[in-house]
Structure formats: C-alpha cells, structure tokens
Chain A
Amino acid sequence: MAIRIFRMKAGNRVNRRVSGDIGVTLFLVIFAIIMVIPLYFAIIQSIKPMNELYIFPPRLYVTSPTPDNYADLFRLMSSSWVPFSRYVFNTVMITAVGTFGHIILASMAAYPLAKYRFPFSQGFAKMVRFALMFNATVLTIPTYIIMARLGWIDTYFSLIVPAFGSSLGLYLMQNFMADLSDALFDAAKIDGAREGLIFWRIVMPNVKSGWLTLMIFSVQTLWNTNNSMYIYSEELKTLPYAISQITSGGYARAGAAAAAVVVMMLVPIIVFIISQSNVIETMSKSGIKE
C-alpha cells in the first residue's frame, strides 16, 4: 500500500513499468522514422544537384546541396503570364478567410447543439454527421448549378463560402464543447450573462484546443485547393494549380517537382507546429480539463 501511494504521487505514472516505457519509446522511434522517410526523401531530392539525382543506387543523403531546384521552380513560375505573387495571394486569401469564417460559424452553431436540446437540434446534428459521408465529387455538378444561380461562378465566393459550412468543423467543435462542464455555464447565467457573451468569453476560450485543431484541418484543406471547376480566370487560380502545371514536366524537372512538394508542405506544417505548441501550452496551464 505504501508503495502504491508513493507511486501515485508521481502524477499520471501509476501502473507503469520502466521496461515497458523503453519498449514503447523504441517502437515509436522506429515507426516515426518510417513515416518520415518519404518526406525526408522529398527534402533531400529537392536540394540535390542534377548529377546526384540520377546516381545508382539512389542516396538518402546529399554530398553537395544546392538551392538550384528552388531557383528553377521560381523561375518557371515567374515565366507564367499571371504573376506568381497572384497565385500566392489567391491561396493565402482563400485559406485565411475560409478558415476564419469556418471556425466562427461552426463554433457558433456547435455551441447550442452541444449544450442544449430544442426542436430540430438533434436532427440537424445528425444531418451534419451524415453529410461527412457524402462523396464530394458528385456534389460538384449540383453545386455548379447552385453557384450559377447565385452568380458566383468565377468569383472568390465560390471557393470561400462553401468552406464556411463544411461539416467537419461543426462535428468537431460539438465534440469538444460537449466535454465542457455545465457548472461553467450555470455560474455565468446566475451572473446574468447573455448567450452571446457566454459563447465568446466562456465557451471559446475553453475549447481553444478544439478550434486550434480545426484550424489545422481547415488550413490544410484550403491550402491545397486545386483548380476548381467554378473558376475560369487565370488570375483567380490557386498556387497548387500553378505548381501542378510545372511539376507535370516529368523526369527533366524531378528536382523542381521535389522542391514544389517541399514548398507546398511547408505552410500546413508550420501552422501545425504553431498551433500545436499552443494546444500543449493551454493543456499544461489548466492542468486538468473538466
């Protein structure tokens, strides 16, 4: 019994053995390496000079790294007739506005659905969950018809607004908000706080990890928005579209293609690192989440 109490003082380390911990860590390290190899390979390929790209056997390291492939990529991009910066602007704009709007709208809708019951609430929540399972491909034609009626063809609206109502966000935020304790709201209501205030001051700060997670998903999806069938003008097309035009050049551009992969994965990964460190920070600050 004494031992057990002593063990419990070490926080969440009850029921653990050192040998198990070592085994687990080793196992994780091996799998982490397997997961990262293709990404590492992309980075290595992107800084290899031409003559190293075609050595047999292919090497997982580089002897004389060069930024040539990146220079190549940007040279190819700037030779297109729409300035390269325009593609970047489009993608950044779509990603930023789409993500922000989605987080706000989905969180607002998730709050009453997670915490209260009223007519149609459960039905609506269920409908959203079902919608997650409908394949997006077949929706493009009906959506096109709707877009045309709205006059949104060939505008930013066609790319941004549907992202606001993506079903993933509502489902996720609802899950996070359901975990919040009712005591939190009751106290605020006794103090006479209105629902809007409760949402903004109490709910949102307490589900920070939720909307940071949603931000990661949303940025990742929107950042990779490729050529959409609702957009014709070259000036409105996105960065992934421009890059895919370049990398379809085959072996001659193998280096530039790898550089493109690295450029495209950079932003979602940076967003992930920033928000993840925030999530962990809030977790350790609040200690136990209720």
Chain B
Amino acid sequence: MSEMNKAAASNDLEFKTAMRNIGKYFQYKWSLMKKAKVYYAFIAPYALVFITFTVLPVLIAIYFSFTNFNMIDRPSWVFIDNYYALFIDDDLFITAIKNTLLFSVITGPVGYLMSLGFAWLINELPPKVRAVFTLFFYAPAISGTSYVMFSYIFSADEYGLLNSALLNWGFITEAVPWLQNEKTVPFCVIVVSLWLSLGTGFLSLIAGLQGVPKDLYEAGAIDGIKNRWQELWYITLPTMKDHLMFAAVMSITGSFGMGAVITALVGFPSPNYSAHTIVHHLEDYGNTRFEMGYASAIAVLLFLLMVVCNELIQKLLRKVGT
C-alpha cells in the first residue's frame, strides 16, 4: 500500500515538475516574443494581407478538395473521393501528369541552367555591355503577351516565319502545321517556354553574381584556383546559394505552372490533348465546369508535386561547391 502511495507521489511530483517545465518553456517563449514585439509590428501589415489572401484561400482550397462543391449548394464532405477519382477514373488527368512532367523535366532544368549560364557569362562583361545583354535576354519574359508572336512564327501556312524559312532552304517541301499537329505541339511548347524561362530567376542570379565580393577571386587565385570553371564551382556558386535556391523555386513554379501560354498558342483543348497540363485540367474543372472540390484536389496534388520537387532540388543545391 505504502509502495503504491510512494509511486503515486513520485508520479505526481514528476507531473508537477513537467508542468512547471512546460510553464517555464512557455514563459520563456513569451518573454522572447515580448522582446521581439517591434519585429512583429514590422511583419504585421504584410502578414495580415498574406494570411487573408494566400494562407486562408489555400486552407479553404484544401478543405474543398475533400468535398463536393459546385458553387451553389453547400459543400458536402466526401473525404478522398476526389483523389480516388483522379487516379482511378480520370485518364485525362494521367495524360496531364505525363505532359506536365515531360515539359517540366525538360524546361525546368534546361531553363535553370540557361539562366545561370547566361547570367554568369553576362556578369563578366563591362557594365554598359552587360546592361544591353541583360535587357536582350530578359526582354521576352518581361514583355507581357509578346509570346503570341510565336503563333505567327509557327503559323501553319507558308506565311509562317519558320515554315517559309524551312521551305526556302529546302528542308521541307510543304508547310508544316506546327501548332496543329500533335507530334510537333510539345516541341513548340518547349521552345516557347524556354524562350520565356530567363525571367525572375535569371535577374535574381545576375544580382547575386554582382554581390560576390571581387577580392574572393583574388584570394582564390592565390589558393590555386586555375580556371573559370573552378572559380565558378568553388567561389561564385557557394557565395550566392540563396539566389540559386530562389531561382530554383521560380523555375519549378514556372515549369509546373505552364498553362496560359500553351492555351494562347495551341488553344484549349490542345490537339489530341498533346499539351494538356495539370494546370489546364485544373482550369477546366475550376473555371468551366465549376466542380470546385475536384479542381481543388487537382491543385493540392500539383502543390504537393512542386513541394516534393523543391525539397529534392534544395537538397541538391546544398551540395554545390563541395
């Protein structure tokens, strides 16, 4: 009996100390927070807008993905039915995943390496020349709807720039309907998205390169760095890791989020769904059919795909310079 009492007492004591420790932990956290109240004030205006128009909509979208919601009736809880239907009953979704992966596996890494490569080479030039080249490379991404010019370049008749050039040089004997043939559509889409890929990430990489202190290179030369490749790998890239990661995120969102550009070029639906991406599928259900639950499930899957991809790439980037 006394043994049990003792055990209970020690349990009680343990519990009390634990509670006191937890209390202390929160007190400590609270004191930290009180100390940081100026910083919270700094963040507050942005956080308010960000939470209202980004976090809240994302949470609502995640909730919708488990419901059946047509915008008129109240959403009804269906749990994972939407996800189940996507993978089991929706062949077009599988096509969309395949196309999205095909496009992003090519345009993501190639676009990223293009951004990095051009930014690096441009950075070597004298300032005035550098400004001109930066403008030329960055202009496509910045100039709004200029990609519609590709519908003239890839035009199906012989007035199309590409067709007329190829006809003139004798590579083809009759005009190719570039944007109407399901075999050539992926090629055109990849060309245009690579053309557009020197965007936000590219500019951030240029800024990052300019921030690398010049004396590091001199120190590196003394330490035995022999050529520009070693310089790039051991000095330049490690110093601008944040910019590398930022550019990677931008190229992931860009390559997985392709939709509007494709629609402008080949229309929706694309010839035999040869350029049907996850974003198209999402827009189809969200904006046309108003099956919001289903559309939200697509969005959540797309989001997860990007997050996983991002984590993998961030892991890879941490190895830079080692």
Given the known interface contacts A8-B221, A41-B149, A279-B207, the answer about A264 and B144 at a Cβ–Cβ threshold of 8 Å is yes
Given the known interface contacts A54-B159, A57-B168, A175-B246, the answer about A139 and B57 at a Cβ–Cβ threshold of 8 Å is yes
Q: Is B292 part of the binding interface, using a Cβ–Cβ cutoff of 8 Å? A: yes
Say whether B228 contacts A15, CB under 8 Å: yes
Bitwise interface map of B from 227 to 246 toward A, beta carbon under 8 Å scored 1, else 0: 11011000000000011001
Q: Is A132 part of the binding interface, using a Cβ–Cβ cutoff of 8 Å? A: yes
Say whether A283 contacts B145, CB under 8 Å: no
In the complex, what distance in Å separates the CA atom of A124 from the CA atom of B58?
15
Say whether B53 contacts A58, CB under 8 Å: no
Say whether A4 contacts B221, CB under 8 Å: yes
Bitwise interface map of B from 143 to 164 toward A, beta carbon under 8 Å scored 1, else 0: 1111111101100001111001
Q: Is A81 part of the binding interface, using a Cβ–Cβ cutoff of 8 Å? A: no
Say whether B146 contacts A42, CB under 8 Å: yes
Given the known interface contacts A172-B204, A265-B142, the answer about A284 and B214 at a Cβ–Cβ threshold of 8 Å is no
B39 CB contact (under 8 Å) in A45, A118, A164, A210: A118
A: interface residue count bin: 35 or more
In the complex, what distance in Å separates the CA atom of A217 from the CA atom of B162?
31
Which chain B positions have C-beta within 8 A of A146? 52-53, 56-57
Say whether A20 contacts B228, CB under 8 Å: yes
- Mark the stretch among B3-11, B91-99, B122-130 that contacts chain A: B122-130
Q: Is B19 part of the binding interface, using a Cβ–Cβ cutoff of 8 Å? A: no
Given the known interface contacts A28-B122, A129-B249, A217-B200, the answer about A143 and B57 at a Cβ–Cβ threshold of 8 Å is yes
Residue of A nearest to B168 (CB): A57
Which chain A positions have C-beta within 8 A of B167? 57
Which residues 42-58 of B sit at the A interface, judged by CB distance below 8 A? Answer: 42-43, 45-58
B contacts with A, residue count (CB < 8 A): 109
Say whether B145 contacts A135, CB under 8 Å: no
In the complex, what distance in Å separates the CA atom of A1 from the CA atom of B60?
66
Q: Is B61 part of the binding interface, using a Cβ–Cβ cutoff of 8 Å? A: yes
Which chain B positions have C-beta within 8 A of A12? 214, 217
Say whether A139 contacts B61, CB under 8 Å: yes
Q: Is B296 part of the binding interface, using a Cβ–Cβ cutoff of 8 Å? A: yes
* Total contacts A-B at CB 8 Å: 288
Residue of B nearest to A147 (CB): B53
Which chain B positions have C-beta within 8 A of A165? 46, 48-54
Say whether B54 contacts A139, CB under 8 Å: yes
Q: Is A171 part of the binding interface, using a Cβ–Cβ cutoff of 8 Å? A: yes
Say whether B121 contacts A27, CB under 8 Å: yes
A137 CB contact (under 8 Å) in B138, B142, B259: B259
Which chain A positions have C-beta within 8 A of B210? 209, 279, 283, 289
Which chain A positions have C-beta within 8 A of B134? 276
Say whether B142 contacts A119, CB under 8 Å: no
Residue of A nearest to B240 (CB): A179
Q: Is A113 part of the binding interface, using a Cβ–Cβ cutoff of 8 Å? A: yes
In the complex, what distance in Å separates the CA atom of A57 from the CA atom of B162?
10
Bitwise interface map of A from 158 to 176 toward B, beta carbon under 8 Å scored 1, else 0: 0001101101101110011
Given the known interface contacts A112-B36, A135-B299, the answer about A56 and B64 at a Cβ–Cβ threshold of 8 Å is no
Residue of B nearest to A118 (CB): B36
Say whether A16 contacts B211, CB under 8 Å: no
In the complex, what distance in Å separates the CA atom of A32 from the CA atom of B303?
34
Q: Is A36 part of the binding interface, using a Cβ–Cβ cutoff of 8 Å? A: yes
In the complex, what distance in Å separates the CA atom of A49 from the CA atom of B136?
27
Say whether A135 contacts B54, CB under 8 Å: no
Q: Is A35 part of the binding interface, using a Cβ–Cβ cutoff of 8 Å? A: yes
Residue of A nearest to B122 (CB): A28
Say whether A105 contacts B204, CB under 8 Å: no
Which chain A positions have C-beta within 8 A of B265? none
Q: Is B266 part of the binding interface, using a Cβ–Cβ cutoff of 8 Å? A: no
A36 CB contact (under 8 Å) in B29, B139, B164: B139
Residue of B nearest to A276 (CB): B131
Say whether B61 contacts A138, CB under 8 Å: yes
A15 CB contact (under 8 Å) in B125, B150, B214, B221: B221
Q: How far is the CB of A182 from chain B (nearest CB, A)?
A: 16
Say whether A261 contacts B142, CB under 8 Å: no
In the complex, what distance in Å separates the CA atom of A259 from the CA atom of B297?
41
Across the A-B interface, give the 7 residue pairs with the lowest CB-CB distance, nearest first: A165-B49, A265-B143, A138-B299, A112-B39, A118-B36, A109-B46, A142-B60
Interface residues of A (CB under 8 A from B): 4, 7-8, 11-12, 14-16, 20-21, 24-25, 27-28, 31-32, 35-36, 38-39, 41-42, 45, 54, 56-58, 105-106, 108-109, 111-113, 116, 118-119, 121, 124, 127-135, 137-143, 145-146, 161-162, 164-165, 167-168, 170-172, 175-176, 178-179, 195, 199, 209-210, 213, 216-217, 220, 223-224, 240, 244, 247, 254, 257-258, 260-261, 264-265, 268-269, 272-273, 276-277, 279-280, 283-284, 288-290
Known A58-B159, A240-B145; further 6 A-B contacts with Cβ < 8 A:
A16-B124, A118-B36, A137-B283, A142-B57, A167-B50, A289-B213
